[in-house]
């Protein structure tokens, strides 16, 4: 499980995370919503150790992410992250892109990495695009390739940061369907998203972030149906 305790983080004079407390259980799907600049992306990058924190702690299955002794490469195999956009290597085919990390980081043989890439690309519905170059994929297909690339490391946790925000509206559905599939398979996920319908359907809990504070966290029916926090109410009213 992911245990976040009183995490504070500033960029210069700007305090971006103001004491976040949050526990995500194994198998849970948590979505994070909130306005731009509320600290959602920063929290995700702190969870997998891409950004240091100023105080507090984050433990993943008992390992303290920001402890000096922690092997971050190993931790990041366990915690995959997918961003709004991933720039695949244009001169490598889709399968070669997905094979890269299993080869280099896990040290797998070519045949082993190939088998994993074929499996995960099939899993996200790209089984027919293995030998294609990324530039020939649609935005939705590129995001599914990015998800396959993360899954190729056999992560136990997945962090998704607005993975549909850069997509044409027509392509959003196929990527959300891939996330739904992972959720139904029991993947532990934290999804930052603006897709309220998706958040309502797929989440065990929804957290609303406002100015570096987790202003409210509740099951979706509660957070969307009867939000308690005035800032949540204002935010939700504005997104309808
Ligand atoms: P969100 O994902 O909720 O939109 P972010 O976590 O990206 O918010 O950003 C929170 C605040 O921190 C914003 O004001 C942003 O400009 C600032 N910020 C984010 N990353 C950096 C950085 N690397 N350096 C300085 N400021 C940053
Ligand atoms: Mg963000």
Question: Domain 28-38+78-238, what architecture?
Answer: 3-Layer(aba) Sandwich (3.40)
Q: What is the mean pLDDT of the chain?
A: 96
pLDDT digits (tens, 9 = 90+) for 142-166: 999 999 999 999 999 999 999 999 9
Give mean pLDDT, residues 66-72: 95
CA-to-CA distance for 51 and 192, rounded, in angstroms?
Answer: 17
pLDDT digits (tens, 9 = 90+) for 163-213: 999 999 999 999 999 999 999 999 999 999 999 999 999 999 999 999 999
Q: Where are the domains of the chain?
A: 28-38+78-238
Residue with tokens 């984050």: 58
**ipTM rounded to 2 decimals:** 0.98
Atom 5 (ligand 1) nearest CA: 39
Q: Do residues 76 and 46 lie in contact, with contact meaning Cβ atoms separated by under 8 Å?
A: no
Determine whether the shortest distance from the Cβ of 210 to ligand 1 is under 6 A. Answer: no
- Residues sharing a CB contact under 8 Å with residue 138, sequence separation 6 or more, in sequence order: 171
Cα(16) to centroid(ligand 1), Å: 7
Q: Do residues 10 and 169 lie in contact, with contact meaning Cβ atoms separated by under 8 Å?
A: no
pLDDT at 87 over 90: no
pLDDT digits (tens, 9 = 90+) for 214-226: 999 999 999 999 9
What DSSP assignment string belongs to 82-114?
E-S-----TTS-HHHHHHHHHHHTS---HHHHH
pLDDT digits (tens, 9 = 90+) for 92-114: 999 999 999 999 999 999 999 99
Cα(127) to centroid(ligand 2), Å: 30
Q: Do residues 121 and 127 lie in contact, with contact meaning Cβ atoms separated by under 8 Å?
A: yes
């Amino acid at each position: 499980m992911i245990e976040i305790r009183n995490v504070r983080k500033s960029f210069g004079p700007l305090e971006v995370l103001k004491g976040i407390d949050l526990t995500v259980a194994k198998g849970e799907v948590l979505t994070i919503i909130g306005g731009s600049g509320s600290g959602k992306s920063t929290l995700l990058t702190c969870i997998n150790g891409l950004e240091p924190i100023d105080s507090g702690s984050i433990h993943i299955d008992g390992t303290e992410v920001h402890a000096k002794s922690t092997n971050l490469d190993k931790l990041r195999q366990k915690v995959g992250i997918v961003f709004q956009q991933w720039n695949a290597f244009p001169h490598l085919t889709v399968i070669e892109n997905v094979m890269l990390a299993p080869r280099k980081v896990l040290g797998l043989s070519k045949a082993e990495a190939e088998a994993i890439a074929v499996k995960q690309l099939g899993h996200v519905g790209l089984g027919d695009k293995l030998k294609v170059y990324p530039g020939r994929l649609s935005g939705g297909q590129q995001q599914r390739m990015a998800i396959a690339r993360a899954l190729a490391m056999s992560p136990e946790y997945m962090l998704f940061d607005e993975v549909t925000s850069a997509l044409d509206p027509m392509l959003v559905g196929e990527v959300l369907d891939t996330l739904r599939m992972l959720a139904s398979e029991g993947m532990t996920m934290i999804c930052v998203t603006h897709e309220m319908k998706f958040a309502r359907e797929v989440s065990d809990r929804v957290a609303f972030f406002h100015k570096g504070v987790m202003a409210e966290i509740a099951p979706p029916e509660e957070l969307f149906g009867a939000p308690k926090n005035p800032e949540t109410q204002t935010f939700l009213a504005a997104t309808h």
